[in-house]
Structure 1
Amino acid sequence: MNFHGKTVVLADAGREDLADRLRALGARVTDSLEEPADLWCGSEPDEDVWRLGIPMLTEADLYELLLRGTPEPGPGDFPGAGVPGGEPERVHAVLRAADWAAFVPERDLPPLRETLTALERAHGVTPAHLLATERLVERGARLRHPYARPAFGVTGAITGFALSPSGRHLATGHWHMEEERGTLQIWELATGRAVNAVAGIEGGVGWPGCVDTVQWSADGSRLALAFRTNMVGVWDPFGAWLNPYGEANVTDGNDSAATFALAPDGRSAYISMRSDHEVMGCVAALDQGHVFFAAQFGDVEGPLPELLPEPIPGEMKSRLDDGEWFFDQVWYSRDGKRLLGHDHDFACAVELPGGRMLWLAETGGPAVWSPDERLVAAVGNGRLVVLDANTGHEIGSHPVAGAPYWGMRGDVPRLAVVMEDGAGVGIHDEHGGFRYHLGIETIDGTGADPHSGQELPWAWAPSGEHGACLTSGGRVEVWSLGAEPELVRSAEAPDEATAVFWGDGDVLALAGERALRFVRAMTGEVLGDFVFDLECDVEPPVEEDALLDDVFGADSFVLDEEAWCTIAAPAVGPAAGLVIVPGDRLAELDADLAWTVERRFAWPVRWGRLDVVPDAESARATLERASEEL
């Protein structure tokens, strides 16, 4: 980032070192918003700055930019997937000779990580691992822990989650109700580690009992959140900015999370709200800053949302109470030209723009669309029905009570129905025909009611050949679903887990209100296991607002009830590997810490060197020595 000629607002007083560094780069530094600014920096987001559309960074992220800059790409090629396996000396020689300036994380990091994982299995951590980590840290890898939180607060309960379209990342939204703030975290499934976070989101993320409060764009580059009770905003899931691209407040003070659907391109969303038309709701921009709209008063700030003025056709209207339609849960079609959703007992499709209702069908319960958008399934009044998604006509049914979950085997949809009262799971063909029953004692929540909480007890494998289900006994079962079903694996789930996701590489993510675990579906290997907001009986080694020196703050988290761990904020430059932790807890660091690359990939902390010290005084001495050496 070029700071020359830019005006930077430092909201927190007393950071003269930061101000001096900015001035040396040609920036004008101020502590107020009395005149236009190009960048704002503080401990967490500021609502007034947010509304003005000024880019916001935390102090730690700004320091990171100043300390390491932006590495320039080199002219050569990095071997990437061509790094050979085999003997440690051979791998070390190839990595030592490689042009690391040509390293492209998206292309090169996953295969290199696989090669070094195999090398570690055969030989342990070798000089090749240490060299690769050293080069990645030089290129900007940053130490991170999984318990991101607002300043002077805690992470908070998980109130929303969503798997990315690629299956490589999980987004979790958190809400600390007492502090009225929230946190967004991004997790890499391949490693089971947190790779990015936005802390201090005003009003928290999600709402108790509400689903779909976290949604990805079709290409995985944008992430929408229901936040601050009834607002919707879109963030960069892999960026450093605290700001959303845009936000919309259009529900006239609704007292729970907005019902919304993110458009495939991530630049707008359909949001349910009352209007003067028969099909309620509007399409609001989420890439143009702040949008406010109060339909009944005609008040508008920002771009005017698009309403849905087309009247409901007479026959359909006669079947609806009050002759109007509100979506209770809603999705966009992949081409962005239709809204698909339900209002509990009815399902419908609505054309965009305009809102013309294409069909309306009584289902008796919430409906879900197949991934290929050809079919609709719903369970209500003790009956599974499958509809043609283009016409709403029924094409199959079966008597059962529960919640339907679509999967795909090749280009053919498959259905699982998680049955009520722990009665197991039924597997059905695309037309609802019964195939066989899985004798699983399922958890109480089937996920049938979109207002029943974060309940997703079933997940299909991307191949459609397997499924995973949470059990009432606190486990997750993995089943092979070929001609005959077969139990493949049973693994322990975290306490009170309510949701399971099947991601890329056959990694399961198991989530509860305050717990998250990543498990390999086929082996049961635990990749990551985290419990949020643990309490500790001892005081942290560094006070929350204390500095380790003129530059680096302290970022502490609880290891367990007996110990804390602290890394630097930011963990770059001379503080890249600094860790304050009791000496007898070193072996536990790999379970919580990771190097993160481009806020997208994680790298095992055990593959690098850490500067481990027992207390803050030792940390300050270590930083002083490292700064002198630099």
Structure 2
Amino acid sequence: MAIDVRGKTVVLTGTFSKLKRAEAEKQLAALGAKIGGSVGKTTHILFAGEKAGSKIDAAGRLGITVLGEAELMAVLAGDDDSDGAAGAEAAVSGFAGLDGNAPGPALAAAIEALPWDDFTADRDLPPLREALYAHEAAHGITAAHRAATARLRPHAALGHAHGHDVEVEWSELSPDGRFLATGSWVGDDYDRGGVLQIWDVRAGRCVNLLRIHGGVGWPDYGGCIQWRPDGKRVGLAFDTNGVGSFDPFGKTGEPDSCAYVTDGWSRPPSWAWSPNSRDVYIACWGPNLALGAIVPLVGRRPQPRWCESAGLSDPSDPNSEPRLQPLKGIDWSHPDRIVGYSGWSQLFALDAKTGKIAWEAKAHEPVSFSPDGTEFAMHPAGIVYYDASTGLPNGKLPMHVGAESLIYSRDGSRLAAIVQPGNKWGAEPGIFIYDRGEYRYSPDVPALKAGEDEDEGEKYGFSWRPDGRAAAISVKGRLQIWELGDKPNRLLDIAEPSGGVAYGDGVLVCHSAKGLAFLRDRDGAEIGRFQPAVEASGESPLMTDGDDHGATWAWNPAFPLDGERVAAALPEGVVVGPLEASATAAEIDGKIAWVVERKWAWPWRWGEAKVWPDAAAAASDPAAPAAFKRKFGKKGKAAAPARATKVKWPPPGGSIDEVAALVEQGVQTIGDSYHGNDYRRKLAERMMALGLFDRAAEAIEARGNWKEWTDPWFAARAHAETVVAALTLRKEGRR
């Protein structure tokens, strides 16, 4: 039965995606509710949409029930199944059903006849794009692509993927696998912030860049990006110790709502979304050793509800250690409980309604929670399944040993145990598939061996296909897809640098030291490949007289094609090639796309894919903005602005070795800090690539004026990257 609002005073705040607030109030009144304009002591329920304001704060102070859009839709539908109400069947798109195999002129005519006046990007763009992908595969680019692009162009802006100042640290697929979020911490300027980047997975292109104050996450801390369960928002650990909700398709990087409850921690807390897509649990110390807080991420000043105290290990000694520690691995998939484990191998559950401790046990990592929150698996001396409501074994005792990670399929019916080389149990590396607690088989993937592969850092990467019937596996420079039915069957085997892999909507997303790659799952075809923080040595085509005109946009239209060439894609649709170099339309197309509503990517090549040789020539493009024409266009009979002379490198009077010595001095003055270690690592790798072997060796071995490494992780990484650079030189025959 739905929530009964008859005779109750209800107030609405914020914006709702499925109907306007006035219409919702009208329907609630028809159900017998009293509609209030402000929150007070007589208010019974507050329905809060996105960007809710001060009414949320008032409701928190008064203890008034706060519900979201899903519950509102359930009330209006007379159904207590809020998920069903929120996910009501979408209207059928009038853009679906196009025949991609039709000849170009016929398909173009059909596209022109579509109901463009009723075009809605979320509903209509995906099926239209799929039809044109099929048409391109059958006929190449035709009039049909140009017709659709001409219709979409007034609603689109041209964009590229270059925006991160430092390397991408975190990535997370949306719940439906259609979007990817990548995040980076701050560069040299903390206040400038880091970057949250959103990708349209099916197109393999970036669709939004958001500058996040204080950066996304913190180096070496996981779980810093988490999509909200309904997929409408991205949650971030940001600005050192804050947790916030951000619109992934919004115009700015300002959070809808955020919480700072750690009392000034110098690192991000662990946290998790509630299945209601409103609340978060933040693991930290609270008043009287409270074990974290439940916070509704709505409104400007959300109020925490603190959980039960951890208590003291010795109640008679006020100076004794807390009995429990804040959680570091957290799951809140089940609405009734929050479960997790601490760094002290403590495992416990909190009642999500009261904040009380429900049960305690000992954690044996790895610990993995089922998607519905009903069970979890961990590794005391082999894999064991547990009931999440009690913390006790549930009778499933497969007992494989050595697993470093346990990965549930999205429906929770299957589990992959990943045994890496060099595990402390001495177990044979491999991937072991369980079905409802019973071991089925292990796919015949390339073998990894303890010692040899362990020293080279080789590990298995694994990701379930959304339906749980297949999986992607990355190992030893190969990317494979295995169908996991009655017996394992390899569907795909291609060369791809080893690293992390995520299985999206018909697309594999690979994240390695070589960058980010989007590959079609049915044949491994490359959709897009990017090095998000790459820096090019060439000059932007938007530079003139030392002035970077690209800086006048919120995000500079200039982007690197590779380590040398820089091109530019103006949002209005003007593309300028690199200075004193050339670039094909195909190269440009691999880096840019038309973007609709900062959410959907549309291939640039499907329109008039013109690359202007320089900014002066591009100023004649009708789409060029007025400021661009004034800057670069011809003024009467005056000559166009002179192109800046390319600076020779190294400059006269300075050898590569002398320049390296100067850079060394600068890095050494930074001292022992995160940035100092990171610059030192990058400098050593670059000097090795340039053949300055002695200088590279001094940097990584702490000789000469270099101090000893204080962070062994940086030292190990610097050694590894310089070795890779040396091997690359030898392979290419340059040294």
TM range (shorter): 0.7 to 0.9
State the partner residue of 2:369: 369
Question: Which of 178, 191, 207 is the matching residue for 1:195?
Answer: 207
Question: Which of 557, 576, 579 is the matching residue for 2:576?
Answer: 579
State the partner residue of 2:413: 413
Shift of 1:179: 3.2
Shift of 1:513: 5.5
Q: Matches of 1:238 and 1:550 in 2, distance apart? A: 22
Q: Matches of 1:501 and 1:87 in 2, distance apart? A: 36
Distance 1:412 1:186, change over 3 A: closer
Amino acid at match of 2:470: H
State the partner residue of 1:517: 517
Question: Which of 561, 566, 569 is the matching residue for 2:568?
Answer: 566
Distance 1:160 1:78, change over 3 A: closer
Q: Matches of 1:195 and 1:373 in 2, distance apart? A: 32
Higher relative contact order (CA 8 A, sep 6+): 1
In the alignment, is the contact (CA less than 8 A) between 2:278 and 2:296 conserved in 1? yes
State the partner residue of 1:248: 259
The CA deviation string for residues 371-394 of structure 1, in whole angstroms up to 9 with x for no partner, is: 2322201124x4212111222111
Shift of 1:275: 2.1
Distance 1:135 1:144, change over 3 A: same
* 3-state SS of paired residue (1:82): coil
Shift of 1:252: 2.3
State the partner residue of 1:132: 148
The CA deviation string for residues 193-251 of structure 1, in whole angstroms up to 9 with x for no partner, is: 1111102x222212222111001111100111111222111110111133110222222
Distance 1:167 1:178, change over 3 A: same
State the partner residue of 2:127: 111
In the alignment, is the contact (CA less than 8 A) between 1:491 and 1:524 conserved in 2? yes
Amino acid at match of 1:124: G
Question: Which of 280, 303, 314 is the matching residue for 2:291?
Answer: 280
State the partner residue of 2:99: 84
Shift of 1:107: 1.7
In the alignment, is the contact (CA less than 8 A) between 1:479 and 1:485 conserved in 2? yes
Deviates more, 1:266-275 or 1:540-549: 540-549
Shift of 1:92: 1.2
Amino acid at match of 1:489: L
The CA deviation string for residues 74-110 of structure 1, in whole angstroms up to 9 with x for no partner, is: xxx9730133341212111122233312111222111
In the alignment, is the contact (CA less than 8 A) between 1:270 and 1:282 conserved in 2? yes
Shift of 1:399: 3.7
Q: Matches of 1:430 and 1:481 in 2, distance apart? A: 14
Q: Matches of 1:444 and 1:229 in 2, distance apart? A: 37
Q: Matches of 2:242 and 2:377 in 1, distance apart? A: 30
Q: Matches of 2:448 and 2:483 in 1, distance apart? A: 17
* Pair 1:99 & 2:142 matched: no
Q: Matches of 1:373 and 1:469 in 2, distance apart? A: 25
Shift of 1:549: 12
State the partner residue of 1:608: 607
In the alignment, is the contact (CA less than 8 A) between 1:234 and 1:266 conserved in 2? no
* Pair 1:463 & 2:460 matched: no
State the partner residue of 2:230: 219
Amino acid at match of 1:457: G
* Pair 1:306 & 2:310 matched: no
More helix by share: 2
* Pair 1:339 & 2:338 matched: yes
Distance 1:78 1:488, change over 3 A: closer
Amino acid at match of 1:613: W
Q: Matches of 1:262 and 1:100 in 2, distance apart? A: 38
The CA deviation string for residues 580-613 of structure 1, in whole angstroms up to 9 with x for no partner, is: 4454432211111111112221111110114521
Q: Matches of 1:601 and 1:588 in 2, distance apart? A: 21
Question: Which of 491, 495, 502 is the matching residue for 1:492?
Answer: 495
Distance 1:327 1:122, change over 3 A: same
The CA deviation string for residues 485-506 of structure 1, in whole angstroms up to 9 with x for no partner, is: 2333222334xx532111122x
In the alignment, is the contact (CA less than 8 A) between 2:280 and 2:296 conserved in 1? yes
In the alignment, is the contact (CA less than 8 A) between 2:163 and 2:533 conserved in 1? no
In the alignment, is the contact (CA less than 8 A) between 2:241 and 2:264 conserved in 1? yes
Amino acid at match of 1:465: R
What's the RMSD between the two structures over aligned residues? 3.4
Larger radius of gyration: 2
Deviates more, 1:576-585 or 1:239-248: 576-585
State the partner residue of 1:73: none
In the alignment, is the contact (CA less than 8 A) between 2:338 and 2:351 conserved in 1? yes
Amino acid at match of 2:431: V
Amino acid at match of 2:557: D
Distance 1:357 1:313, change over 3 A: farther
The CA deviation string for residues 454-489 of structure 1, in whole angstroms up to 9 with x for no partner, is: x99211112222122221x22222222223223332
State the partner residue of 2:161: 146
In the alignment, is the contact (CA less than 8 A) between 1:330 and 1:339 conserved in 2? yes
Question: What does residue range 223-238 of structure 1 map to in structure 2 within 5 Å?
Answer: 223-238=234-249
State the partner residue of 1:172: 182
The CA deviation string for residues 415-473 of structure 1, in whole angstroms up to 9 with x for no partner, is: 1111031711122233364644644446999xxxxxxx9x99211112222122221x2
Q: Matches of 1:456 and 1:310 in 2, distance apart? A: 40
Amino acid at match of 2:266: D
* 3-state SS of paired residue (1:421): coil
Q: Matches of 2:220 and 2:460 in 1, distance apart? A: 12
In the alignment, is the contact (CA less than 8 A) between 1:514 and 1:533 conserved in 2? no
* Pair 1:504 & 2:505 matched: yes
Distance 1:500 1:321, change over 3 A: farther
Amino acid at match of 1:484: K
State the partner residue of 1:264: 275
In the alignment, is the contact (CA less than 8 A) between 2:384 and 2:396 conserved in 1? yes
Shift of 1:268: 3.4
Distance 1:261 1:563, change over 3 A: same
Question: Which of 199, 207, 218 is the matching residue for 2:218?
Answer: 207
State the partner residue of 1:36: none
Q: Matches of 1:172 and 1:549 in 2, distance apart? A: 23
In the alignment, is the contact (CA less than 8 A) between 1:312 and 1:356 conserved in 2? no
In the alignment, is the contact (CA less than 8 A) between 2:310 and 2:323 conserved in 1? no
Q: Which 5+ residue runs of structure 1 have no aligned equivalent?
A: 1-49, 54-76, 290-301, 315-319, 446-452
Q: Which 5+ residue runs of structure 2 have no aligned equivalent?
A: 1-50, 55-91, 314-319, 423-428, 452-456, 630-735
Amino acid at match of 2:541: P
Q: Matches of 1:557 and 1:127 in 2, distance apart? A: 29
In the alignment, is the contact (CA less than 8 A) between 1:385 and 1:432 conserved in 2? no
Distance 1:625 1:385, change over 3 A: closer
In the alignment, is the contact (CA less than 8 A) between 2:258 and 2:302 conserved in 1? no
Q: Matches of 1:548 and 1:323 in 2, distance apart? A: 56
State the partner residue of 1:182: 194
Shift of 1:328: 1.2
Amino acid at match of 2:286: S
Shift of 1:310: 6.3
In the alignment, is the contact (CA less than 8 A) between 2:585 and 2:609 conserved in 1? no
State the partner residue of 1:37: none
The CA deviation string for residues 37-88 of structure 1, in whole angstroms up to 9 with x for no partner, is: xxxxxxxxxxxxx9x99xxxxxxxxxxxxxxxxxxxxxxx973013334121
* 3-state SS of paired residue (2:152): helix
* 3-state SS of paired residue (2:605): helix
The CA deviation string for residues 246-275 of structure 1, in whole angstroms up to 9 with x for no partner, is: 222222222222211123344332112112
* Pair 1:481 & 2:480 matched: no
State the partner residue of 1:297: none
Tell me the matched-pair count. 514
In the alignment, is the contact (CA less than 8 A) between 2:375 and 2:387 conserved in 1? yes
Distance 1:160 1:99, change over 3 A: same
In the alignment, is the contact (CA less than 8 A) between 1:333 and 1:373 conserved in 2? yes
Amino acid at match of 1:426: F
In the alignment, is the contact (CA less than 8 A) between 1:158 and 1:513 conserved in 2? no
Percent identity reads 33
